[in-house]
Amino acid sequence: MNTRIPSAIDERVPSRWQGTLFECKAWAYRIRRTLTERLRGQHASRHTCGMALHELPVLAEFEGSLWPQDESDLRLVAGKIHNLRLAAKRMRGLEIPAGAIFSFWKQLGRASAARGFVRGRELREGCVIPAIGGGLCQLSNAIYDIAVRAGLEVVERHRHSRVLPGSLAEFDRDATVFWNYLDLRLRAPFAWRLEVELDSERLHVRIRGNNATSVDMRPIALRTRTTDTLGDCSSCGEQDCHRHVGSQTLNRHRTWLFFEPWPEFLALLERERGDHDRVVDMSSQGDRFHLATFSRWHAALRTRWALWRKQPLPKARADGLQVAARALARDLRPDDLHLVVEQGLLPYLWRDGELAGRRFDVMMNALPMDAIQQRIDIAAAMHSDCKTLRDFRAPTELLQAEREALAHAVRWISPHAQVLALAGSRAAPLDWIAARLPDARIARGDGAPAILFPASALARKGVLEFVAALQGLPVRVLTPPGAAEADTVWGDVAVERVASIAAGMARADLVVLPAWIEHQPRSLLAAIARGIPVIATAACGLPLSPQWDCVPEGDTTVLRRAIVERLGLSDRH
């Protein structure tokens, strides 16, 4: 009978029994901690996020890379970033009152799969292993490091048992956490604010407050703890270990998020879609049928309900877009690290923390909300009694969210000329795709020239300037169905209702749209394609071309002159 002599490798490879024993010990410690805190009344409170302290000075801040240079399993890094993303949602803008205790685990809660946490890297018993919630120590390390430098009292802190090369543990400025008995707890005699943010490459953590005794103790090059040689489940080669998973491939890809895609964006997807790219939209396919259908209906109902209650259009659309953004975010995976997002979804995804730790491009189907409201303000100053200009306002928090998100976007993708001008070096231009309308033309006979106004008769579409420019001219205006400022907006101008823009196009001698805001100039493109003269503003987003006449927004005199010249009229006004 051969007797196998245990080798040195066998001795250091953990067995399943050792793993089970570790879990039993961990649960014993958890139960003891819970009972002790309840009996002694030492349990910490959960704090809320707010804006009361956001203007206080920064006492200390930390910035660290999310992507280790020597990492062998990038899928675990993606998992770590996902776990940090979930933690950041619960800790960004956290405000702690003077004398109150901040507890890492009380604030975060257990990092379980049921709560959305995934496998990341975790240091356990001398090995770097894949574990649910792995990677959160990068955040606890950063919080401890800046807490010391900000002058906070450290109520509880635990060192890592082993030291990873390049980590804060080398400088004895680390804090390991393991739910729930290894916690990081802090306190200060002043109110303070914790800010946690992730961009596509780095983790940023700041503490704000008023403390004259805070110090700047940045880690220096001198090491205070010796690094250890550790086993790594993804690269150590010990395939007999029950923890062994082996290195997994992270397929770099883009994830396209659509809600109401333009033809230009679908054409871009067709051209650029890679082999591993994903499309996340509201289509009813496969197992997502019921969820997608419900989400579409929910978004549409929210929008219609808001409009029925006479809410301004931006507010009504915001309600529907928020539902859509959260529905689409549920389909995102930890390895979706590069997103291509429709602009309407952007502020909600940013506000909810879904873009943290990710690169993203934006498919711009409108001007930024800031720019829209600046233009509306100019128009409102000229027409102070116009209600639709006064109430065309987006919520302040959405303006701020979109502003911040657009500042972090890699590319602004759009066919709209003015959007591209605002994007600067980040502009990714697309060509407009003209809408196809019936080619039938109806002879106008000897009647007055017909001008098509291809939009709702609203002030932001330039109808007030249009009516003023037409005073005394022998013309007829063709208007399609849609909202209007009031029945009296046209005054003495001869107006004829048409069934659709296509029907008006068939009879029009000229198409005019002097809009303040216009994001989809499809009727103008169709008119140009059919050789019908077009007068519009630069706000319509068309590239400058001899094929159409560009007039300034709000300038009635120039608009009237252009109409007279195009129709060959005599202006005696």
Tokens of 487: 């029945």
CATH of the domain at 477: 3.40.50.2000
Q: Does residue 400 sit in the same domain as residue 326?
A: yes
Euclidean distance between CA atoms 29 and 67, whole angstroms: 32
Indicate if 217 and 266 belong to the same structural domain.
Answer: no
Amino acid at 262: W
**Per-residue model confidence (pLDDT) at position 296:** 57
The per-residue pLDDT for 6 is: 42
State how many domains the chain has: 3
Mapping DSSP to helix (H, G, I), strand (E, B) and coil, where does residue 539 land?
A: helix
- Residue 242 resides in a domain: no
Kindly state whether residues 486 and 419 are assigned to the same domain: no
With respect to residue 28, please indicate whether it lies within any of the assigned structural domains: no
Q: Is residue 290 part of a domain?
A: yes
pLDDT at 4: 40
Q: Are 118 and 219 contained in the same domain?
A: yes
Residues 307 and 423 in one domain: yes
Dist. CA 470–CA 478, nearest whole Å: 13
Instruction: Report if residue 444 sits inside a domain.
Output: no
Backbone dihedral region for residue 462 (phi beyond 0: left; psi -120 to 50: alpha; all else: beta): left
Domain boundary among 371, 400, 429: 429
- Domain range for 319 is 255-429
Residues 81 and 224 in one domain: yes
- Predicted confidence at residue 286, as pLDDT, reads 40
Considering the domain architecture, whether residues 462 and 545 belong to the same structural domain is answered as yes
Q: Of 232, 247, 281, which residue is a domain's last?
A: 232
Same domain for 394 and 286: yes
What stretches in the chain show pLDDT beneath 50? 1-11, 217-222, 284-290
Distance from chain centroid for Cα 8: 51
Cβ–Cβ under 8 Å, residues 186 and 44: no
- Report the SS3 class of residue 364: coil
Identify whether 318 is part of a domain: yes
Query: Is residue 470, in this structure, part of any structural domain at all?
Result: yes
Domain-embedded: residue 34 = no
Q: Are residues 408 and 456 located together in one domain of the fold? A: no
389-398 contacts: CB < 8 A, separation 24 or more? 389/459, 389/460, 391/312, 392/312, 392/313, 392/314, 392/460, 393/312, 393/314, 394/314, 394/315, 394/318, 394/369, 395/314, 395/315, 395/318, 397/351, 398/318, 398/347, 398/348, 398/351, 398/369
> Do 419 and 454 fall within a single domain?
no
Burial class (CB in 10 A: 0-12, 13-18, 19+), 192: buried
Q: Give the residue among 195, 152, 238 at the shortest CA–CA distance from 63.
A: 195
Do 259 and 349 belong to one domain? yes
> Are residue 412 and residue 480 in the same domain, yes or no?
no
Last residue of a domain, one of 232, 263, 294: 232
* pTM reported for the whole predicted model: 0.85
Sign of the torsion formed by the C-alpha atoms of 114, 116, 119 and 123? negative
Asked if residue 554 belongs to a domain, the reply is yes
